[in-house]
Amino acid sequence: MKHFLIASVAALSMTGAANAADVTLRVHHFLSAEAPMHTEVLVPWEQAVEEQSGGRIDVQLFPSMQLGGKPPQLFDQARDGIVDVAWTLLGYTPGRFPIAEVYELPFMSGTALQTTMALQEFQAKYLGDELGQVHPLVLHAPAGYKFHMTEGPIETMDDLKGKKIRAPSRAMTDALNALGATAVGMPVPEVAQALTTGVIDGAQIPWEVVGSLRVEEITNAHSEIGSENGGMSTAVMALVMNKAKYEGLPDDLKQVIDDNSGDNLARLAGEAFDRTEAEERQKYLDAGAKINVIPADQLDPWREATQPVVDAWVEAMTEQGLDGQAMLDDAKSMLETSSQ
């Protein structure tokens, strides 16, 4: 399949001068061109869209915020047409997507594929209004986040006391504080510098992004919650397209975008994130790094300490006139039964 795609792209490049693309899609994101999201998801998506459109769609990828702005502005860049497509974390604008935050609550994560496929079902049922300003291509998630520390592993809750930990979302900011840490929210590109300067003592990030951030050069202790794939947190990621740009496409090109969105793109992303998660983790094991796992049967105190964060989300949904508990139960059920 890889050789087929490469051949297709080469063929398109030879005919491109004679047959200019009808549509250009500028895709903007905050990670480097080395990050798995770029190499394992966005590049294959680019190739598939261009090949299936017969070269009529030209996808241009702009990593590392090359088109300007900051990561929390990416959703609005797509909404406002500053870019055509943007990839971001919904949690970078705390409180703006409160329903989607259900999968950022403590212990609402599994493998990347599990959480990502659950998000497709949850999005279809509950997130139409929250994402109504754009055309969503896919919501997805990485594998559960791990603790990567500069000095000593996290083995018990007591080890978190007094530690400044990078939190990936509003929910995990509250959860880490409840566990005795001092949570520090920041976009992931800022993590390496913050670790180097001592602004934080550790970070919650998945294995798959550690290498592209150069975090392995700074941290020396790695801790996982429950299992190597699960964890106590994750983040909801979104690839979204400007609504007018999508609606202005001819029907056949809309179909190309549709064929490379939703469940199809979700499975690609979930499998890619799980694969790179395992590969990156294995690199550390091969290099002699020690990775400690806090057993699932020792997590009851963690769950008890963070339950108020979950209760607060349910209450917030109820105050909006929604059935918060039913939504939470639904989200858990979708996670448990999602494809693996």
Residue 164 counted as domain residue: yes
Nearest in space to 89 (alpha carbons), one of 215, 240, 196: 240
Residue 105 counted as domain residue: no
pTM: 0.90
Domain hosting 39: range is 2-100+110-141+236-277
* Domain-terminating residue out of 225, 254, 277: 277
Residue 223 counted as domain residue: yes
Residue 13 counted as domain residue: yes
* Claim to verify: residue 161 and residue 63 sit in the same structural domain: no
Residue 199 counted as domain residue: yes
* Claim to verify: residue 36 and residue 173 sit in the same structural domain: no
Q: How far apart are CA 340 and CA 338, in angstroms?
A: 6
Q: What Å distances lie between residue 103 and 62, 136, 171, 260, 267, CA to CA?
A: 28, 17, 9, 23, 17
Buried b (16+ CB within 10 A) or exposed e, 48-76: bbbbbbbbbbbbebbbebebeeebbbbbb
Residue 282 counted as domain residue: no
* Claim to verify: residue 184 and residue 292 sit in the same structural domain: yes
Average confidence score pLDDT of the chain: 91
Q: What is the mean pLDDT of residues 8-26?
A: 63
Residue 42 counted as domain residue: yes
pLDDT reported for residue 210 = 87
pLDDT digits (tens, 9 = 90+) for 240-298: 999 999 999 999 999 999 999 999 999 999 999 999 999 999 998 888 888 999 998 89
* Claim to verify: residue 83 and residue 94 sit in the same structural domain: yes
- The number of CA neighbours under 13 Å toward the Cβ of 338 is 27
* Cross-strand partners of 223: 147, 292
Nearest in space to 22 (alpha carbons), one of 60, 56, 52: 56
Of all residues in the chain, the percent with pLDDT exceeding 70 is 93
Tokens read off for 270: 């979930």
CATH number at residue 160: 3.40.190.170
* Claim to verify: residue 132 and residue 7 sit in the same structural domain: yes
Q: Is the dihedral of CA 21, 22, 26, 32 positive or negative?
A: negative
* Claim to verify: residue 25 and residue 77 sit in the same structural domain: yes
* Claim to verify: residue 50 and residue 119 sit in the same structural domain: yes
Instruction: Indicate the number of domains in the chain.
Output: 2
* Claim to verify: residue 124 and residue 201 sit in the same structural domain: no
* Claim to verify: residue 226 and residue 161 sit in the same structural domain: yes
* Claim to verify: residue 69 and residue 80 sit in the same structural domain: yes
Phi, psi of 228 (to 5 degrees): -70, -20
* Claim to verify: residue 50 and residue 168 sit in the same structural domain: no
* Claim to verify: residue 194 and residue 48 sit in the same structural domain: no
Is residue 228's pLDDT more than 90? no
